[in-house]
Amino acid sequence: MDIAIVGAGGRMGQMLVRHAAKTPGIRLVGATEVPGSNGVGRDSGEMAGIERNGVTITDDAATAIGAAQAVIDFTIPAATVRHAEIAAARGVAVVIGTTGLDAAQTAAIHAVATKVPVMWAANMALGVNILLALVEKTAAMLDPSYDIEIVEMHHRHKIDAPSGTALALGRSVAAGRKVKLEDVWRKSRDGHTGARPVGEIGFATLRGGEEVGVHTVMFAAAGERLELSHRSFSRETYAAGAMRAAAWLEGRPAGLYTMKDVLGL
């Protein structure tokens, strides 16, 4: 599978480059950065801290993506949409790990998925996707007297809150309770908020340091509290999932897929 990695000079991009180098069946053929980045013109392997791989980082996304069978994108919403549309025009599959897209950007990704296969996941770690399945089943088993709170923490540089993974966990919980998340969520609390409504799904967001990602779903009732939690110690888990997703997309028809599809959950 020939892949291109956009944002190859960033922390996640460098991790993807490193993981591509050691993944059987994956060949890196393109790497990009934004114009003016200090990564443009550098060997992507060297920048990622491994041996030179002969793939120079370019600011020409169209050429880099067009040379691949799949593009992997963990950048920012506006760039992700632009890259996905380039891929659609060239018949290239898309793997997206970007979160924080607004309604219009989400609609644009759905439009791309009518033309090429797109795997879009808030989190590509195997453990997180198992957690998504577990919290949905748990929410379905417990009655509304159990209050549900989702707590997440990420590094100080993360730009969206709550995290895409926290929101995905919220949607799994809501699915288990057969409600719409937007009807019952509480993303923040401040001041005199009054008693907690029955059935509310709360979110708490923490930011600081270099924390890769911690997510905990709490089911709290009188006399007990059940917690289901996952912590990522390295972005390598995301990179491994992205490579697996890229390989899985080969030969798939156009459509919007998730890591549940890739993992057969």
Positions annotated as catalytic residues are: 154, 158
Residues 6 or more apart from 254 whose CB is under 8 A from it?
113, 114, 115, 116, 117
**Cβ(16)–Cβ(8) below 8 Å:** yes
Render the burial of 209-231: b for 16+ CB within 10 Å, e for the rest. Answer: eebbbbbbbbbeeeeeeeebebe
> How far out from the chain centre does Cα 102 lie?
15
CB atoms within 10 A of CB 232: 19
Rg of the chain on CA atoms, in Å:
19
CA nearest neighbour of 209 among 159, 161, 153:
153
